[in-house]
Amino acid sequence: MPATEPSRETQAPVSATMLLARDAARGDTAATAQLLRAVAPLVNRVVRAMLGGGHPDVPDVVQQSLIGLVRALPAFRGECAPEGYAQTIAMRTALLARKRWRLDRLRRDDDAETEVTVDPKASPEDTALSERRRTLLRELMLEIPEEQAEALGLRIMLGWSLEEVAQAAGAPLNTIRSRLRLAKEALRKRIEAAPEVYAALEVGE
């Protein structure tokens, strides 16, 4: 007996961005342009979270991320939402950019960190401490394997659920849990080994 096709009622609706991604993957330039406009704000958010909102390279890294998305589209199979696909590429691109920037900074012996993000309701002390924590977390993420850093960034810095991280990474849920556990263990060891980092992050007993 031939297999029956799933009824229309059981098929999940396809989002507008998914349709655009499918057309873009087939080389439709108009669909590609529309897709890039749709995901650009999300990509910008990821890059700003990883580099810092005031970092001078944010526009360039956003552009690199969008170019990376276009190049990756032929391999897109729709396992996750195009928005998640774009943000994952942006996270990887931003991590690589930050590594390059840190090496550059070390060669110049420059410890400055560019970041201008102020909460008008926060005190100057709270603002400084909050930014110090974000900066330290970004730096520490560069010291762990890329897959772990990516999972940690999507989970903690962007607030994704475990399921969303797993879907975007194309990995089983237990694998993502393992990556996060290893990442947190590595960060904890790094933090505990450096008293100044430990104090800045206010890690309690």
- Can you list the domains of the chain with their CATH numbers? 14-117 (1.10.1740.10), 119-205 (1.10.10.10)
Predicted structure pTM score: 0.72
**Ranges of the chain with pLDDT below 50:** 1, 7-10, 111-119, 203-205
Distance CA 202, CA 136 (A): 12
What is the pLDDT, as a whole number, of residue 24? Answer: 95
**Cβ neighbours around 114 below 10 Å, total:** 14
What is the pLDDT, as a whole number, of residue 9? Answer: 46
pLDDT digits (tens, 9 = 90+) for 21-34: 999 999 999 999 99
What is the pLDDT, as a whole number, of residue 112? Answer: 45
What is the pLDDT, as a whole number, of residue 13? Answer: 77
Distance CA 108, CA 102 (A): 10
What is the pLDDT, as a whole number, of residue 167? Answer: 87
What is the pLDDT, as a whole number, of residue 124? Answer: 66
